[in-house]
Structure 1
Amino acid sequence: MRRPFVDLLEANLEHAAEFDARFDGVQESQHPDVVTVCCSDSRVLQDHLWGNDEPGHVFTCANIGNRVVQRTDAGEAVSGDVLYPLAHTGTEAVVVVGHTGCGAVTAAYDRLTDEDENEDAADASEPAGITHCLDLLTPRLEPGVDRLPAGLDRADAVNRLVEYNVDRQVAFLRESDEVPGDTGVVGVVYDFQDAYSGRRGEVHVVNVDGERSVETLRVEHPDVESRIERLWEH
């Protein structure tokens, strides 16, 4: 058995000792306050980034590109991972969590800008599952690529598209008839690249229920004014 997994098992014993009594109130059911949709990136620690150590508090979803969209026989739909807590556990808030340096956004950007000179070959070399995920992401980023300010290097362009992607995912949720109309939808970016002000690991609010203006958001949400920041108000 590979040592990294053995290490995980050993760490799990510590977790079990700490959390044993914390499951008393949630053994039979769950009623999480919020569902988060994060990128499945090893640098984005979903529960840890919120300081969450309470079972039943946060319903966590993850995929490459923090997408809320899945493709069905009937067309595109809100991912069942996101809809489940909204439909069955009384959850009334969704948080879409993008992050700086997102590999999925970078891959989509390269596709759209031909920075990968062998795009077709690169796609052919990817497993079908990864290509499928990028096929869902790329069309949503294409208008954003066209609007990017001139003169950005690749890293800066990607980090602005991270925000743009969060905006598109928030918009999809808000426009869907499957999502209850009173659901609160917030878009944030988790920064570990010093792209925003503040410390690495801070979450920056970029979108609340479709509103993207930093000035407006700070007026409407003074309790989190210092956490509202955007790289790009497109």
Structure 2
Amino acid sequence: MPDFPSSPAEAFAALMEGNSRFVRGDRLHPNQDADHRTALAPAQRPFAVLFGCSDSRLAAEIIFDRGLGDLFVVRTAGHVSGPEVLGSIEYGVAMLGVPLVVVLGHDSCGAVTAAAEAHRSGYAPAGYLGDVVDRVIPSVLSGRAAGLSTVDEFVDEHIRRTADYLLGRSSLLAAKVGQGRCAVAGLSYRLTEGTVHLVAGHGALSAEPSGSAASA
């Protein structure tokens, strides 16, 4: 696997392989030495945009066993998105040429739990925290309409809806995916096991012509 994968399938495989190393405890800690830090200073060349929840247990470079310059990371509570997030993702795709955008959520998410409770009780938190919850509630509603009932099921639904939202709002990202130059993967992380699994995929996430990952 190239150090900086150039295709969506290579980038996705590199992340999944890194997560497997993390789960096994066989981390390589790539691209974390002083020489790489110096070589990277003039310019960055990440191979993936990682849009994830701000949860402190979800440090992307650690759980995917990557290093400096590998991932362009954007994080918000509950991975809720707005203009700043969309602009940051488009910067990674258009200016840095990354071939993969990942939406990363996790089980027992506090924002999703709060949204489910707010919908049940009819009361949302005050202040800007309420704004975060309001942006997650549509995923809870969509999940319940589909017969889902648990927070972790709502988490996966929120990941799927976020991936769809990015493609629906960003014509630039949608065009890159349509051209086969980028892909979007929605991944759900398990806090205890350290594993990730694919819950949403758009584009060529598999090296095989008809890979099932692209339509997960």
TM-score w.r.t. length of structure 1: 0.66
- Alignment check: 8 A CA contact 1:78 1:178 kept: no
Q: SS of 2:57's equivalent?
A: coil
CA RMSD of aligned residues (A): 2.9
Match of 1:164 in 2: 157
User: 1:34 is matched by which residue type in structure 2?
Assistant: A
Aligned equivalents of 1:144, 1:220: Cα separation in 2: 28
Name the residue aligned to 1:57: 70
Residue matched to 1:191: 190
Which of 173, 184, 199 is matched with 1:179 structurally?
173
How far off is 1:40 after superposition? 0.7
Separation in structure 2 between the aligned mates of residue 178 and residue 111 of structure 1, nearest angstrom: 34
Residue 53 of structure 2 corresponds to residue 39 of structure 1: yes
The letter of the residue matching 1:40 is S
**Pairwise CA distance, 1:81:** 2.5
Partner of 1:209: 202
Comparing 42-51 with 159-168, greater Cα deviation is found at: 42-51
After superposition, the C-alpha distances for 1:158-209 in whole angstroms (9 at most, x for unaligned) are: 000111001001111222314252230001100125xxxxxx0011111111
CA distances 1:28-79 after superposition (whole Å, capped 9, x unpaired): 11121100111111121211000112x1111111111123x215xxxxx862
- Percent identity between the two aligned chains: 26
Larger radius of gyration: 1
Gaps of 5+ in 1: 1-14, 72-76, 194-199, 212-217, 230-234
Instruction: Identify which of 90, 102, 126 aligns with 1:95.
Output: 102
Cα displacement (A) at 1:137:
2.1
Tell me if structure 1 keeps the 8 A contact 2:74–2:85: no
SS at match of 2:43: coil
* Equivalenced residues, count: 176
Distance in 2 (alpha carbons) for counterparts of 1:220 and 1:187: 19
C-alpha distance in 2 between matches for 1:175 and 1:25: 37
Distance 1:47 1:78, change over 3 A: closer
Please say if residues 105 and 158 of structure 1, whose CA atoms lie closer than 8 Å, have aligned partners that are also in contact. yes
| Structure 2 SS opposite 1:101 | coil
Alignment correspondent of 2:137: 138
CA distance in 2 between partners of 1:191 and 1:70 (Å): 26
Higher relative contact order (CA 8 A, sep 6+): 2
Are 1:78 and 1:173, in contact at CA under 8 Å, matched by a contact in 2?
A: no
1:91 positional shift: 1.3
Aligned mates of 1:164, 1:60 — CA distance in 2? 22
Partner of 1:7 in structure 2? none
State yes or no: 1:221 paired with 2:216: no
Q: TM-score, normalised by structure 2?
A: 0.71
Is the CA contact 2:168–2:174 (under 8 Å) kept in the aligned structure 1? no
The answer on whether the counterparts of 1:170 and 1:210 sit within 8 Å (CA) in structure 2 is no
1:5 is aligned to none
Q: Distance in 1 between matches of 2:74 and 2:63?
A: 14
* Contact 1:94 1:185 survives alignment (8 Å): yes
Distance 2:102 2:44 in 1: 18
Return the letter of the residue paired with 1:107: A
- Look up the SS of the partner of 1:79 in the other structure: helix
21-30 or 139-148, larger mean C-alpha shift: 139-148
Q: Is the 8 A contact 1:171 1:210 kept in 2?
A: no
